[in-house]
Chain A
Amino acid sequence: MKKIWTITKRELRAFFDSLMAYIMLIAFLGFSGFFTWLYGADVFFVGQASLQSFFSIAYWTLFFFIPALTMRLFAEENRSGTIELLLTKPVTHWQVVLGKFSATLILIIIALALTIPYYITIANLGNADNGAIISGYIGLIFMSATYISIGLFTSSVSNNQIVGFLLALFIGMFFHIIFDVLSNNFTGFVGEIFNFLSISTHFESISRGVIDSKDLIYFLSIIFLGLVSAEAMVSKASMPE
């Protein structure tokens, strides 16, 4: 546990040292603020004291920002060879993977925490549905964790950050939109399967305020799968043959 935290601290510091974190925070707040308050189906257009417009924007901005954060995590270590020094220290591969995962998740949680002023504003404008807002945030956190684990895996595939970024978007695209589109085009059992595979189904279900075990199992199993694959890629180097 302590070692995971040691790695988490280093990764978090690397995010902030490389300005990546600041750029991500500013861009995230800028985009989501713009579309929540100023443009399109914004809060004033909808005319309700809810953060629904923010959640649907964050659903897309996080989808693009997370691969940009995760692409570096393993690809850079593979390229520069620092992975060798890290793995010859008394840490397990799992501790490395989990440390990097939690560092990115913490950064996302910081970004989401910075949108609390949005909530305060909304709560002052009218009767906000606190339950829906809390569960909306929980939905975003689960979705982020899912994309982080996918991004970690794609970053560990090669020593090229761009490959990690594009591959994460490619895989993410299926969960984010393609399965959803497919589920509308198919009826019956096949449609059900695609519907279950789509992140938007589960995100909407959670942000409606119902945290169903089905949604939890869905998110946790993708996260688990992503982390297991990342760990396998990291271990590959030290495997016989």
Chain B
Amino acid sequence: MDIIIQNFTKKYGQEKAVDNISFKVKTGEVLGFLGPNGAGKTTTMKAITCFLAPTSGEIQVGNYSIRNEPQEIKKRIGYVPEINPLYPDMTVIDYLKFVAELHDIGKNQVVERILEMVRVCGLEGEKHKKIGELSKGYKQRVGLAQALIHDPQVLILDEPTAGLDPNQIVEIRELIKNIGREKTVILSSHILAEVEATCDRILIINKGKIVADGTSDELRKLSQGKELLQVCIEEAEKNAVVSAIQELDSVEMVDPKARDNYYEIQSKKEASSKRAVFELCVKKGWILTEMTPVETKLEDIFRDLTLN
């Protein structure tokens, strides 16, 4: 099921939380939703799940509109809100049963689906415990289990890995990737590495507006593309190295690192200083033991786009 968002605006009082955004998510796509706090990610997700009505604009899930057929959409969506609110005095099994009944899962399938979810989400040992007694990571799994129990076409996850330990994060990411093969997934996160690892496409929003949209490679190209090298030059005096490299035509800036013999070299726009640095070392008799191009990190792109 595709999700189509057209000119969606949401105001709280006078303030625009989301300002006229439009995008489309196709079936089988995992969309990563990035943005600083208060950018409008959660608001957009709440609108897609029919919890908040838009001030203006239209959102369609499949062929259903959130204005006219919210019940049809709700049947097909699995949603894990940011704070993952659950009833603390219910046991895991009871809660999943409650959700299954709300989703009209047939009597003969309920038990099977619950056991399946318990297995998939790794809740085997905690299924008879009260939700209030579970650790944050297990609560998150219950949140995922309740979102997946009716085998939804669309999955909306608001920071699904917050509060999990590294092993659990890897498991949940695998789970999301598997689900994402056939279904439409939107997930929001602060953790850029996570978005890069799980998502086919990244959407960055800032102050309610879309500032970037594309795969992580496409986003990298967007950023300024100055070459950055990390080199290690041995048997040379630091000041001599810095001044010699600085004199090369292609080099914009040299920065000696705290680590002994390491330097960071930034080239001028659309120039490469790899060869020049190598030849310089040969000429001066310095020993070049390492030269690594430093990739522009998604973090930098994110900062570029959202800090202004």
Asked whether A238 and B51 contact (CB < 8 A) given A82-B85, A90-B75, the answer is yes
Contacting residue for B74 out of A17, A82, A90, A240, CB 8 A = A90
A17 vs chain B, min Cβ distance (A):
5
A89 & B52 in contact (Cβ 8 Å cutoff)? no
The answer to whether A116 has its CB under 8 Å from any CB of chain B is no
Are A91's CB and B81's CB within 8 A? no
Q: Is the CB–CB distance between B102 and A82 below 8 Å?
A: no
Report the Cα distance A92→B104, complex, angstroms.
14
User: Measured between C-beta atoms, what is the minimum distance from A215 to chain B in Å?
Assistant: 36
Q: Is A120 an interface residue (CB 8 A)?
A: no
Whether B102 lies near A3 (C-beta < 8 A) is yes
In whole angstroms, what is the CA distance A53 to B307 when docked? 73
- Could you tell me if B71 and A14 are in contact, using CB atoms closer than 8 angstroms? no
Which residues of B have CB within 8 Å of A90? 71, 74-75, 102-104
Q: Is the interface of B mostly helix, strand, loop or mixed?
A: loop
Q: How large is the interface on A (under 10, 10 to 19, 20 to 34, 35 or more residues)?
A: 20 to 34
User: How many angstroms between the C-alpha atoms of A3 and B103 in the bound complex?
Assistant: 9
| CB-based contact A88/B50 at 8 Å | yes
B98 at the interface (CB under 8 A from A): yes
Determine the chain A residues whose CB is within 8 A of the CB of B87 once the complex forms. Answer: 10, 14, 82
A18 within 8 A of B: yes
* Bound-complex Cα distance A95 to B234 (A): 75
Contacts of A240 in B (CB 8 A): 53-56
Assess A238 versus B98: contact at CB under 8 Å? Given A82-B87, A85-B79: no
CB-based nearest B residue for A14: B89
Cα A85 to Cα B55 in complex, Å, equals 21
**CB-CB < 8 A to A83: which residues of B?**
85
A-side contacts of B49, CB under 8 Å:
88
Q: How far is the CA of A92 from the CA of B70 in the complex (A)?
A: 9
The chain B residue sitting closest to A17, CB to CB, is B89
Whether B301 sits at the interface, judged by CB under 8 Å, is no
Which residue of chain A is the closest to B80 with respect to CB atoms? A85
Q: Write out the residue numbers on chain B whose beta carbons fall within 8 Å of the beta carbon of A81.
A: 81, 83, 85
Chain B residue with Cβ nearest A5: B101
Contacts of B77 in A (CB 8 A): 88
A239 at the interface (CB under 8 A from B): yes
Tell me whether B81 and A85 are in contact (CB under 8 A): yes
Smallest CB gap from B99: residue in A: A89
The answer to whether A84 and B11 touch across the interface, beta carbons within 8 angstroms, is no
A 41-88 contacts with B by CB, 8 A: 80-85, 87-88
Q: Are the C-beta atoms of A89 and B81 separated by less than 8 Å?
A: no
Q: Is A6 an interface residue (CB 8 A)?
A: yes
A237 touches B51 (CB 8 A): yes
Give the distance in Å from the alpha carbon of A76 to the alpha carbon of B11 in the complex: 26
Given contacts A3-B102, A6-B98, contact A88 B85 (CB under 8 A): no
How far, in Å, is B52 (CB) from chain A's closest CB?
A: 6
CB distance from B234 to the nearest CB of A (A): 58
Q: Which residue of B lies closest to A83 (CB)?
A: B85
In residues 20-54 of chain B, which contact A (Cβ within 8 Å)? Answer: 46, 49-54
Q: Per-residue CB proximity of A81-124 to B under 8 Å, as 1/0?
A: 11111011111100000000000000000000000000000000
Q: Contact check, B74 vs A84: say whether CB atoms are below 8 A apart.
A: no
A80 touches B53 (CB 8 A): no
Q: A84 touching B89 by the CB < 8 A rule?
A: no
> A6: which B residues are within 8 A, CB to CB?
98, 101-102
* Interface check B134, CB cutoff 8 A: no
> For the complex, what is the distance from the CA of A81 to the CA of B87, rounded to whole Å?
10
CB proximity to A under 8 Å, residues B42-96: 46, 49-56, 71, 74-75, 77, 79, 81, 83, 85-90, 94
User: Knowing A82-B86, A241-B11 touch, does A88 contact B79 (C-beta < 8 A)?
Assistant: yes
Shortest C-beta distance, A62 to chain B (Å), equals: 25
Distance in angstroms between the alpha carbons of A84 and B50 in the assembled complex: 10
- A89 and B51 contact, CB distance less than 8 A: no
**Mask of B174-195 contacts with A, CB within 8 angstroms, 1/0:** 0000000000000000000000
In the bound complex, what is the Cα–Cα distance between A83 and B103 (angstroms)? 16
Extra pairs beyond A82-B86, A88-B74 (5, CB < 8 Å): A7-B102, A10-B90, A10-B98, A85-B81, A90-B104
4 closest A-B pairs by beta carbon, nearest first, are: A81-B85, A90-B74, A82-B85, A6-B101
Show the binding face of B for A, using Cβ within 8 Å: 11, 46, 49-56, 71, 74-75, 77, 79, 81, 83, 85-90, 94, 98-99, 101-104, 146
13 residue pairs of the A-B complex, CB under 8 angstroms, read: A6-B102, A10-B90, A82-B86, A85-B86, A88-B51, A88-B77, A89-B74, A89-B99, A238-B51, A238-B52, A239-B53, A240-B53, A240-B56
